[in-house]
Structure formats: structure tokens, C-alpha cells
Amino acid sequence: MLRTGRKHQRDAVRQPWQLLVFSVGERRLAVRTSEVSGISQWNESIPVAGRTPFVTAVVRQGQTVLPVFDLAAFLHLTVQGSSLLCLRVKHPLGEMAMCIDEEIPVLHTFDPAAIQTYHGKDLPAEGSYTNGLDEIPILAVPRLGSTA
């Protein structure tokens, strides 16, 4: 027999967000670790013609050739360092590479309640968090390269 008079309450357990914090042109940004497929040394990119905004090159990573999303150009910045890094991200249309500063990215875990709305209009973001006086936007990888 089923009991219908009893209320079942679930504890709303929020999973913490794991973020990878990196820099481009000394500007700190974050991305969800679930959207990262790897980090390696940056290999020289090969320019290609195309219509996708800020995707003007490809880079070889082992046996794989990836489109490069030029995040630095998108943000009007210049990557910093002599040993640049390649951040590989999982975009809905396929994996992409981004050239980032040589500073080693750092993993952070956050309570989702600490994530705030990002009010900047300079990049697609899922939100942001504050670190001292800095607001660090969380990159919305699925929206990179979209014209909307």
C-alpha cells in the first residue's frame, strides 16, 4: 500500500564548482574543470582563413589538430611570457585550444552560493567570484565564438 500523506524532503545538496583559474594578458579568468580537457605547452599555431570570429588558426597537439580560439584578441590583450601554455577546452562543436599566459593555472573549489552574476559585457560568462579586490569571470565555453 502506498502512503500519500507523508512528505519527503530532500536535502538540496549543491555540488561544489571546481574551477581552473588562469590568466591571459595578466587578466585572471576561470573555467569549470568539466570543460577543460588538458593543459600543455603552446605549439606555434598555423593561420587559417575562416568566418568564425576569433578562430583564425589551428594548432597541432600530438596527432590532433585543434582550432584556436584567440581569447587574447577577443579581450584586446596580449598573452604574457616566453613559455606560453595551451588550454584545451570542450566546446559543444568540438575541442578548441586557447593560448594563455605562462603562469601555471590553479585549481579552486567553490560553493555555488559564492558565485555571483558577472556584469561585464566583454566576454560570455557563467558568473564570477571575488578574490580580494578582483572580480574573476567564469568563462562560458559553450558561448565562445557565437555571434549572438
Cell of 37: 580537457
Q: What is the pLDDT of residue 10?
A: 46
Q: Which domains does the chain have, with CATH numbers?
A: 17-143 (2.40.50.180)
- The model's confidence at residue 87, banded by pLDDT at 50, 70 and 90, is very high
> Which among 41, 11, 145, 48 has a CA at the least distance from the CA of 102?
41
Q: What is the pLDDT of residue 9?
A: 45
Alpha-carbon span 60 to 117, nearest angstrom? 36
- The model's confidence at residue 4, banded by pLDDT at 50, 70 and 90, is low
Q: Are 23 and 80 in contact (CB under 8 A)?
A: yes
For 52-77, write each residue's pLDDT tens digit. Answer: 778 889 999 889 999 999 999 999 99
Residue type, 137: P
| 3 state SS of 26 | coil
pTM of the predicted structure, to 2 decimals: 0.85
Beta carbons within 8 Å of 75's beta carbon, 6+ residues apart? 24, 25, 27, 122, 123
Cell of 18: 571546481
- The model's confidence at residue 38, banded by pLDDT at 50, 70 and 90, is very high
**Taking residues 77-98, what's their average pLDDT?**
95
**Taking residues 16-27, what's their average pLDDT?**
95
How long is the chain? 148
14 burial class (0-12, 13-18, 19+ CB within 10 angstroms)? exposed
